[in-house]
Chains A and B, each alone.
Chain A
């Protein structure tokens, strides 16, 4: 999902969904850039008033049963040759478990409708 928002509404950590281009179609900021005050100030100097922002769909894991996510997490963790302690490692495991659970759920739903 992406939203178009005013440059003044940009908050630190928002992610560009589309690159910012100048009038010659040259890329000023690539899509995927994590925006900060620094970027906002530059964008204002370039007279850029709106940007496309990636919007996280926060509701999308509410339907996934917690047990499914937990069993996925167990499977993933059993393949690791170390015990993750860093925040970024745990985030990577969590997102992978979520995807794995979502895929399992989709498979179940697909089988149920067939």
Chain B
């Protein structure tokens, strides 16, 4: 179990998101703070602001380039959404600093799978009337961060796990447990806990492979479970898998989507995917 220890050490080494959260929540907790005070805190990170404004003006929100500063973004799309967009940017940025440590796979392709999962999740959420679809997008972005940790911390073992998945045609998480003694969802959950991500996101990371939370099923987890599989089938990016596992029938049942959901929504999903890939992955 030496690998597990070295992977856990990598999780411990990862920086926290504490400074990001404390700066923001400090301002919000202050009863005298207004939108402009919050905007001012956000504006200290200019690199994020540029991307935040691009996302706020992207077609998903429908403002057609009319949002020109952080205050307007908060006013129009809401503080929660702005916070979740910033969190998305922060998570990708933290991992992208480790790009050079990832040899087995192209990190851009990896993130494209995550973005594909996120845009499909958002599309499903919109169609079943979920209000907070940006939480679904963020869940999609981070659902398999455990795999990235494997690529960074245990590349040789992970190559063996992928090989086992390919030759034996077994689920990747079973292959991970066999070779590494731990699955990407468990290791991802540890990092998510350390980062104090919102509970629905931690659940999505922990339970997305099966779609089950214990013996039950919940909406967020079911959506990410299905979106991960759909992104793999649609060929969005590449996270290393070759074979596609069976979606949990209970997840389909819970979501109750029309049979033509994917053919009907594909043009929008594709546009959303291209738009977000450009904004999130271009330097």
- Using CB atoms and an 8 Å cutoff, list the residues of chain A in contact with chain B: 13, 15, 18-19, 21, 25-27, 30-34, 54, 56, 76, 79-82, 86-89, 91-96, 99-100
Determine if B265 and A94 form an interchain contact, defined as CB atoms under 8 angstroms apart. Answer: no
Residue of B nearest to A87 (CB): B259
Closest to B253 in A: A86
Main secondary structure of the interface of A (DSSP, over half): mixed
**Judging by beta carbons under 8 Å apart, are B262 and A91 in contact?**
yes
Q: Is B244 an interface residue (CB 8 A)?
A: yes
- With known contacts A27-B62, A34-B258, A81–B169 Cβ distance under 8 A: yes
**B266 A30 Cβ-Cβ under 8 A:** no
Known: A27-B62, A33-B127, A81-B171. A92 touches B268 (CB 8 A): no
- The answer, among B169, B235, B267, for a CB contact under 8 Å with A96, is B235
Interchain CB contact under 8 A, B243 and A80: yes
Q: Which of B62, B133, B244 contacts A19 (CB 8 A)?
A: B62
Contact yes or no, A92 B62, CB < 8 A = no
The 5 A-B residue pairs with the shortest CB-CB distance in the complex, in nearest-first order? A87-B259, A19-B62, A82-B246, A92-B262, A95-B263
Indicate if B20 sits at the interface (CB-CB under 8 A): no
Interface contact B127-A34, CB-CB below 8 Å: yes
Evaluate whether A32 and B123 lie within 8 angstroms (CB atoms) in the complex, with A27-B61, A27-B62, A80-B243 already known.
yes
CA–CA, A84 to B66, complex, Å?
A: 44
B38 CB to closest chain A CB (Å) equals: 19
Q: List 11 A-B contacts (CB under 8 A).
A: A13-B258, A15-B264, A19-B61, A25-B66, A31-B60, A82-B246, A86-B249, A88-B257, A91-B260, A91-B262, A91-B263
